[in-house]
Structure 1
Amino acid sequence: MNADLIKDVRRNNPLIHHLTNQVVMNFTANGLLAFGGAPVMAKAEKEVAEMASAADGVLINIGTLTPEELPAMIKAGISANRKGIPVVLDPVGVAATDFRKDAVKQLTEEIQFTAIKGNAGELAHLVSTPWEARGVDSVGDGDAKEVVQSVAETFQTSAVITGKTDFIYTDGNLYTNDSGHPLLGKITGAGCLLGSVITACLSTGYAAKDSLLTAVSFYGHAAEFAAQQHNVAGPGSFLPMFIDALSLDSAQLLERKI
């Protein structure tokens, strides 16, 4: 974890343009604010290119995708590519329906993504690797290391597989992260918010390795910190403590001290 990178995020307060799913908008906005970024949620096709051009990063998340939103996502991604800012794809539940599969195919054909993140089942589907999934969840087993590398090489991007162990493949190298807590799997939108934090870290200009490892490591340590607070009894009380933890610095998280 690069503490200086996190300080840069908080000093620069990057504007992250979200085209994300309806379920997680409020949680994502509050989580990014706590971490140090500035969220904006804009999905109208008439404004997305302009909004993306004013932003420091763009996150595209297909969790509650509609046919009307897909052209807007493409326009935002193209605008971000033209500006040279990071664009992150979260292909939520891509294996669940043909509509999602076709949408992600269009997105990856039209946009050069800086990073693609998702669970193992989602990323496995992108490279036609068999992996059992149920809705938006990955429930099967396989070689996540092989999948994350294949996604990165196929789409010429960095790739992140989240899970008990996170796998990151960028610039020809594989990295892992083991920080985190099972309660993250008991709240809606934990992976979606991570996509936002990743986009904010990528906006700093640090190497992709530093940005991605810092994002997933900090996020996991924040979850660990929140879970061990004496007033956390389950997912409901964990969630606000997790938001609080995202606002702390890395030393506080590692020392488990406020």
Structure 2
Amino acid sequence: MQKFSLDFSDVRKLIVKSLSSDVQISSSQMEYSVTGPEKDLLIEKKNGTLEISVTGRGMIPIFNHDSTPISLTIPTQLDEIIVTTISGDVKANHVKAENMKFKTTSGEISLNRLLANFCEIKTVSGDISISQQSSRKIVITTVSGDIKIKEVVCEDYEWIISSISGDVEIETVGVPSLRILFKTVGGDLTSNIGYVREGKEYVFGDGRMRLIVNTTSGDLTIKSTNRAERAESIEKKILKLVAEGKLSYEQAKEILKELV
């Protein structure tokens, strides 16, 4: 494993490619870097685009069998982020960009505290986990992977979710404000909170956020948690990270301020 500094001056687009290596991305205001296998890491900057790939022999940009993880710290704001893997997992935390695309075949995708105007997420069999997502439009597509979206704050968004056999679970903060068009052959919708039917749509609250869900046999579950439970859960996670030395006291203090 080797750590390399990254020059993001004049960079507006980030592309990351991997075969089996896991990819982890987080933001920073201080230092930008990539950590990965020294021999197989190709970094290329051209025309406002920074591309990072795991390469094979001869520096040909084909994917290697090496599963050594790639870890990146990047600026808090880019125009576009594209991450592609075959079997490697993808994790992104506290990242901002106008447009984002995450694609994998069998790897899992885990996204936390992402801010984007448009976000596209695709898997074949890998599960998708999303938390505290703020995106005006999201398009999520999977064949058999399950989709779990937590801590949703219902705003004027439109999210489109498509799955063949994977289940979809959405957990909102407080009473949901959703207008859902659920198209399915054999899937069921369940919820721990009431809704009304308006034609083919399921309406929760005033229906501020639009959700289109297409499944063949996958079920759709809508859950509601109150804000006090959410804050308590986040505080416990933060304290655990501090105890493990993964988060400084000052960083924890800043995050806790955002909960107030």
Tell me the TM-score normalized by structure 2.
0.32
Tell me the TM-score normalized by structure 1.
0.32
- Which structure's residues are more often strand, by fraction? 2
